[in-house]
Every structure is written in C-alpha cells, then in structure tokens.
A and B are shown apart, each in its own frame.
Chain A
Amino acid sequence: MSKNLISGAEAVIKSLIEEGVDLIYGYPGGAIMPVYDELYKYQKEINHVLTRHEQGATHAAQGYARVSGKVGVVTATSGPGATNLVTGIADAQIDSTPMVCITGQVASHLLGSDAFQETDIIGISTPVTKWNYQVTKASEIPDVISKAFYIARSGRPGPVLIDITKDAQFELMHFKYKKCSSVKSYKPEPDISFDEIKKAADLINKSKKPLVVWGQGVILGNAEEELKDFIEKSGIPSVWTILGLSALPTNHHLNMGMVGMHGNYGPNILTNECDLLIAIGMRFDDRVTGNLDNYAKQAKIIHMEIDPAEVNKNVDVDIALLGNVKKTIPILTKHIFKKTHEAWISKFKLFDKIEHEKVINEDLFPTKDGLTMGEVVKIINEETNGDAVIVTDVGQHQMVACRYARFNKSKSNITSGGLGTMGFALPAALGAKMGAPNREVVAIIGDGGYQMTIQELGTIYQTGAAVKIVVLNNDYLGMVRQWQQLFFDKRYASTEMINPDFVKIAEGYYIDAKKVDKRSDLKKAVNEMINSKKPYFLEVCVEKEANVFPMIPSGASVSDVRLE
C-alpha cells in the first residue's frame, strides 16, 4: 500500500517535472524544507538556483520567462520569504510575465495563530496575482500545480502563487498527474469577431495616414512574423511601446521608433496627426499616451487585444478586435489592400532628422568631454552586432538603452516596464542568460538600481552564467534628478549617491571587472567584456547631470514632446 504513496513535497517536484520545469529560482527556509529535501533528490531533473534574496529569484524567473517564453518558477519559504516575492510578482503581473511561485506555509493547524514565520501571503498577493491558492491537503497538489501552470501561461500571461502548508508537504498521497487544459470559469482567449475584423480592414484600406503602435502582446503571442507581414502589406509606419521593443528588427524600413515619455520625436508628434491608430497588443499606458484628453483625438482607433478588460480602459476605441494577435493579425492582413504610404512616412523621416540634429547626434557622437550613456549603448551595439539580449533596470539608462539599442531578434529586450522596478536588471539578466545560454546577455544598469540587488553578483558567480554587466554610473538617481532639475528648481533632494568601489565589489565576488572614465578607453573595454567567456563587470563613469530627451512632461500631450 505505502509503495504507491509519495509525500506532498515529492508531488510538488513530480508535478513541476510533468510541466517541463528544469530550472527553479529560490531560497529555502523552514516551511518549505520538505520541498527542498525533494529537490535534493531530484537535482538531476531540476536545477535549483539559490539567489541571494527572494526578490532576486522572482526577477531571475522573469528574465528567464521573457527570453524563453516559458513559465518562470520560484520557490520560497513562508513569512519573509513569501513577502520578499511581492515586488517581483507585482512586476510580473503588470508586465504579463508567466510565473509560478510556490511558497511554504506554516502547518494548517497553526494558520491564523501568528506562528513563527506565518504571513497571510494569499491575502497579500491577491491584488498582484492572476490567481493564487492555498493548499492544505497533499492530494490537491497535482491538480493545483497543473492549474497554476495553465493559468500562468494561457491567455494574457501572469503570475500565480501557490501556498502549501508544511503538513501538506509531509502528508502522503497517491500521485497521478493530468495536465490542465481548461478551467470552467476561465476563458483565456476571447472569441474572434470576423465582422469586426472586416470593418477594421475597411478603415485601414480607406486610411490616408495610418499608424501602427504595437506592444508586448505581439511578443507574448509569438506574432512577430504576422506583424511583419501585416505592416509590409499595408505599408503602415509602425512604432512600439517599451515592452514591444525587439518584436520587429530595428532596421526594418517601417520601424519608426518608440512612443511614449522618452520615445522618438516623430512617433509621438504624429500620433496626434494620424487618421487611424492601430494598437496591437498594447494597453495605452499613461507613459505611452501622455494626457489622454489630447491623445490621438483626431484618429479612429482600432485596438487588437487579448484582454477584454483593457479595451476602453484608458482610450475609447472605435473597433476592438478581441483575441490573440497571432490569430487576428493574419485575418486582418488577408482583408487589406497592398499599399505604400510614402508621403506619410516622409514626415517621420523629417522629424527623425530634427531629432538627430537636436538630440541623437550629440548622444551618440558627443562633442563634449563627458561620456554619454548613448555612446556606451552604441558601442555595445557595434560589439554585439545587435544580436545581444539587452536587460535594463529603471531610469535614465533604461530610456537611453531602449532608444538606442539595436535588435535583430525578438525577445531580446528585457526590462521592467509597467512597475518600474529598480533592482530588476541584475537578477533578470541572470535569468535571461540561463534561458538563452547561447546568446550574449548584456545588463545595462544605473548605479542606483544596481545597488538594490547587487548581492545577486553572488548568484551569478555561483552559477557561472556569463552575464555582461554594464553600470552607467553618474553618481545620481539620474531620472529623479532630471525631474528635480526640470520641475523642482534643481532641488536635488536625496538623489546624489556616494558610491562604493564597484570594481572591488565585483572582484570580491570573483567577477572580472573594469572601470572606464575616458572615451578613448571605452571601445576596447566593451570589446574585452563581450569577448570574455565569463561573467564580466564594466563600470562606465558617465556625465553626471545629463538629461534624457525627447521628453513628454508628465500631464502634457504627446504632441508637446520636448527636445530640450
């Protein structure tokens, strides 16, 4: 009889294996120890990476998920282990990243007794998870884990948290696994309306000045080719949100650049000049739209979106094409005429010329002494031929990197978009490297965010993942300082940082490290870093008080984008 019985903890591991999991990021502790004991036995099947903080585990799982398209998996203990996951879970929720977090919980008879390391993680994580569930019986484990993976990866992906009491981990049960393929009350993809698609095609065919704005939905739906076919047939100039970056190669002739607060000049201004805006897998975030009262009011709007709750949330649209863009784009493409929009596209080129003269040339080919963030990104482009995965943190360096990094392949831009989580990049880069071991992964991080998760250098060293880390150091929390300069009369409240010797810290973790503060040394240093087969740290001391432009000031219209 007992021959067929296994513990709940073993059932967790067997369920993960059934889901194809071979990599977990996590941190052990009292309430999750039975699961770790099983991980020890199953270490041939599952590689557990011990991060130095649970938040690092979530970001690593996110980096892994974003680069590979698979579900990132995290394990942590109860109490502080669980609460340390919350930032990463919230980040994954707002950026639609598939992730399953498994937390230990105190034994079920202790629930609600304020036992040691008890915290109500179900209550805490509810608003930031796609689904969560507390398991108190071992027999529930296979079904719940299978449901968790199904929910995390289907439809609009997102994070799921499963909290398992310690007694359920010890309890014996009969293991039988059945992959979840539907949940009664959950419809991952809404029905496609062919009539609406035809109406949309009509609008597109009639439009003189159409504009495509695509977002991460294209990448999450693996619809890059479908997007390309659509815009090539329609000849429509196309622009992207920060999370849509890399879905279409940078050098594609219809790729006109980024929209939003620090997006490109033409895409922002012409948003308010197009007669038709086709939003594909994006959600009209306020950093994209600026002031909604003045956003594309002249245009008809078509919204292609998998999540019905995003339709008419921020912007009222004329036609909503619900469904997975992988399926809806090709139907739309079939119904549109082959066209070109040369006169309309020449406007983008004109604004691009202005942006080059006023901003880009000086960023990439500076005439002043101080190093610019832009020239560092340009050299990284040159040294990696645009084939690298670029992982960024949050702030000025992020905006500069997303503006200037060049991409040939999709799933190559990993950044914290919606939540804006400082500290994201270093662990996310580790996850990205493990999810795409044959690709060059370059983390570009500011000196502020770097120090929020700097301890993950230890994880990078221990795994040996050859992550290339570039810290653009201006000794400031640069983006906040920029706002203080522009909107708070240069009152630099708590934004200046007296930084440690970053090279010594990296070397303390046995990671090769170098610091550059002269333009003449930069190219060689980046080249050396890229050619290294090991993790590598490069600090570049950049101009201290440089600003990122163009910029749409908070509350202003997209057409009020400033160049200085």
Chain B
Amino acid sequence: MEKDKELFTVSIYTENNIGLLNRISAIFLKRHVNIESLTSSQSEIDDIYRFVILVNVSEIKIKRIIKQIEKQIEVIAAFYHTDKETIFLETALYKVKSKSLFEKKDIQKIIKNSQANIVTVSPEYFVIEKTGWRRETEALYNSLEPYGLLQFVRSGRISVTKEPMNISQILKTDKIK
C-alpha cells in the first residue's frame, strides 16, 4: 500500500512535560508507523528539549505526521529531514572478555582499524566505544561477534541539520503554522 518509503530524521523542539513523549509516540502508533530509534535531550536553548526520531515512511505520510506533532500544545516546532540533509551519528558500546584481547591478536587490529576507543579495561572484560554511521558500528559488531560479545548496545541516532533551524526566531514570533 505505502510506496516510496524512505528513512527520515524527525526533529521536534518541545517544552518539557511529563507525558509529551507518550503524546508524540501515540501519533506514530495511531498511523501504524514503527519508530526505528528515538533520543531526547536538552537543545541549544534553555528549557527547550529536542527529540530526534528515526522513521521509515513515505514523504507524504511524514509530512502529515509532522503537522499532527506540531499541533500538540507543548511542541514548538517539528521538522523532517533526509539523510542527505543532516549530519548524524550513533554510538555503540561493545563489552568483550578481557581474555580475548590478550589471546587473540586480531582483535587489537580490528579495534585500531575501526577507529574505535577502548573505554575501560578490567581483568574480566573491556568496553569498546564506536561512534559513527550505522554501517560502521555494524561492521565492528560483525568483526567482534566471533570473539564473543558479553553485551552490545547502540544508541538512537543523534543528528544536526545542515540548514539552520531558527527555533529562537520561532519562539520570539510565537509558533509558526
């Protein structure tokens, strides 16, 4: 039914309010859209929060969803962008047995080549951090997996847009549209 699905990064500037996450995710739920990843943090403006949500939908659908999100009382503005329009990263953590670091020489080469960092080392385990694109964190995952991963976790996408976002302007002139 839905053609031309594409990966979009949705950025939402909001006031802080308990329940707003629920309200925003309900908009995706109502339209049967799966959220690929979601992060929320403070934005460049005091007391204004920024959600970054990754979804795979058609542009027609994301346009309508953005309007529904903007309609919510505490939302200041919402935008959607394609990958080309944003600079984006994800961070992954890999927990590996310390034994393999010393016994398997290859693993040191893998870490070096992937430009990953060793965050911590203990007698039992060590933790590697890799920040980058999905395919990079995935490649490192595939390389490390044979050595036995004790734990693996990847963050949601964080992104900034290439074009400026005039949130301060919007806040001054009241909410647009």
A309–B68 contact, CB under 8 A? yes
From A122, A151, A190, give the contact of B73 (CB < 8 A).
A151
CB of B157 to closest CB in A, whole Å:
24
From A123, A151, A309, give the contact of B67 (CB < 8 A).
A309
| CA distance in complex: A409, B29 (Å) | 41
From A151, A187, A312, give the contact of B174 (CB < 8 A).
A187
B74, closest chain A residue (CB): A185
A184-B15, A322-B177 given; name 6 further pairs at CB < 8 Å: A122-B22, A130-B73, A185-B14, A186-B74, A186-B175, A313-B64
Residue interface mask B53-74, A partner, CB < 8 A = 1: 0000000000110011011011
| CA distance in complex: A251, B119 (Å) | 79
- List CB contacts (< 8 Å) of B24-59 with chain A: 26, 29-30
A508 within 8 A of partner (CB)? no
| CA distance in complex: A311, B66 (Å) | 12
| CA distance in complex: A151, B74 (Å) | 11
CB of B16 to closest CB in A, whole Å:
11
B15–A185 contact, CB under 8 A? yes
A122–B74 contact, CB under 8 A? no
CB of B171 to closest CB in A, whole Å:
7
B19 within 8 A of partner (CB)? yes
| CA distance in complex: A388, B23 (Å) | 40
Q: A134-B18, A185-B175 are in contact. Are A308 and B26 (CB under 8 A)?
A: no
CB of A242 to closest CB in B, whole Å:
23
Q: How large is the interface on A (under 10, 10 to 19, 20 to 34, 35 or more residues)?
A: 20 to 34
Residue interface mask A308-325, B partner, CB < 8 A = 1: 110111000000001000
B22–A309 contact, CB under 8 A? no
Q: Which chain A residues lie closer than 8 Å to B17 at the CB level?
A: 133
B1 within 8 A of partner (CB)? no
A560 within 8 A of partner (CB)? no
From A126, A182, A186, give the contact of B19 (CB < 8 A).
A126
CB of B99 to closest CB in A, whole Å:
43
A473 within 8 A of partner (CB)? no
| CA distance in complex: A309, B26 (Å) | 16
> Which one of B14, B15, B71, B171 has the highest number of Cβ atoms from chain A below 10 Å of its Cβ?
B71
B92 within 8 A of partner (CB)? no
> Which one of A126, A131, A185, A187 has the highest number of Cβ atoms from chain B below 10 Å of its Cβ?
A185
B96 within 8 A of partner (CB)? no
From A184, A307, A322, give the contact of B71 (CB < 8 A).
A307
Chain A's interface: helix, strand, loop or mixed, by majority? Answer: mixed
A134–B19 contact, CB under 8 A? yes
Q: Which chain B residues lie closer than 8 Å to A311 at the CB level?
A: 67
CB of A486 to closest CB in B, whole Å:
26
A308–B70 contact, CB under 8 A? yes
Q: Which chain B residues lie closer than 8 Å to A557 at the CB level?
A: none
A97 within 8 A of partner (CB)? no
Q: Which chain B residues lie closer than 8 Å to A312 at the CB level?
A: 63-64
CB of A61 to closest CB in B, whole Å:
21
B158 within 8 A of partner (CB)? no
CB of A98 to closest CB in B, whole Å:
14
| CA distance in complex: A300, B76 (Å) | 33
A127–B70 contact, CB under 8 A? no
A183 within 8 A of partner (CB)? yes
Q: A127-B26, A187-B176 are in contact. Are A309 and B73 (CB under 8 A)?
A: no
A126–B76 contact, CB under 8 A? no
| CA distance in complex: A322, B74 (Å) | 21
Residue interface mask A19-56, B partner, CB < 8 A = 1: 00000000000000000000000000000000000000
B177–A308 contact, CB under 8 A? yes
Q: How large is the interface on B (under 10, 10 to 19, 20 to 34, 35 or more residues)?
A: 20 to 34
Q: Which chain A residues lie closer than 8 Å to B18 at the CB level?
A: 134
| CA distance in complex: A127, B69 (Å) | 12
A190–B177 contact, CB under 8 A? yes
Q: A186-B175, A187-B174, A309-B71 are in contact. Are A126 and B23 (CB under 8 A)?
A: yes
B73–A185 contact, CB under 8 A? yes
A322, closest chain B residue (CB): B177
Residue interface mask A440-457, B partner, CB < 8 A = 1: 000000000000000000
B171–A132 contact, CB under 8 A? no
Q: Which chain A residues lie closer than 8 Å to B171 at the CB level?
A: 184
| CA distance in complex: A185, B70 (Å) | 9
| CA distance in complex: A307, B15 (Å) | 21
Closest 9 CB pairs of A and B: A309-B67, A187-B175, A127-B26, A185-B76, A131-B73, A186-B73, A309-B71, A308-B177, A126-B23
Q: Which chain B residues lie closer than 8 Å to A151 at the CB level?
A: 73
Q: Which chain B residues lie closer than 8 Å to A191 at the CB level?
A: 176
A316, closest chain B residue (CB): B60
From B19, B29, B30, B67, give the contact of A308 (CB < 8 A).
B67
B10 within 8 A of partner (CB)? no
Residue interface mask A131-147, B partner, CB < 8 A = 1: 11110000000000000
- List CB contacts (< 8 Å) of A103-148 with chain B: 122-123, 126-127, 130-134
Q: Which chain A residues lie closer than 8 Å to B22 at the CB level?
A: 122-123, 126
Q: Which chain A residues lie closer than 8 Å to B71 at the CB level?
A: 307-309
Q: Which chain B residues lie closer than 8 Å to A133 at the CB level?
A: 17, 19
CB of B3 to closest CB in A, whole Å:
15
CB of A148 to closest CB in B, whole Å:
10
B75 within 8 A of partner (CB)? yes
> Which one of B14, B67, B73, B176 has the highest number of Cβ atoms from chain A below 10 Å of its Cβ?
B73
13 A-B pairs (CB sep. < 8 Å): A126-B19, A126-B23, A126-B26, A127-B30, A130-B73, A151-B73, A185-B74, A185-B75, A186-B74, A187-B177, A308-B177, A309-B68, A311-B67
CB of B48 to closest CB in A, whole Å:
9
Q: Which chain B residues lie closer than 8 Å to A132 at the CB level?
A: 19
CB of B11 to closest CB in A, whole Å:
15
> Which one of A131, A307, A311 has the highest number of Cβ atoms from chain B below 10 Å of its Cβ?
A131
CB of B160 to closest CB in A, whole Å:
21
Residue interface mask B156-177, A partner, CB < 8 A = 1: 0000000000000001001111
Q: Which chain A residues lie closer than 8 Å to B30 at the CB level?
A: 127
Q: Which chain B residues lie closer than 8 Å to A130 at the CB level?
A: 73
CB of A144 to closest CB in B, whole Å:
12
CB of B174 to closest CB in A, whole Å:
5
| CA distance in complex: A187, B70 (Å) | 10
CB of A53 to closest CB in B, whole Å:
26
- List CB contacts (< 8 Å) of A313-345 with chain B: 313, 322
- List CB contacts (< 8 Å) of B67-123 with chain A: 67-68, 70-71, 73-76
| CA distance in complex: A182, B73 (Å) | 11
Q: Which chain A residues lie closer than 8 Å to B176 at the CB level?
A: 187, 191
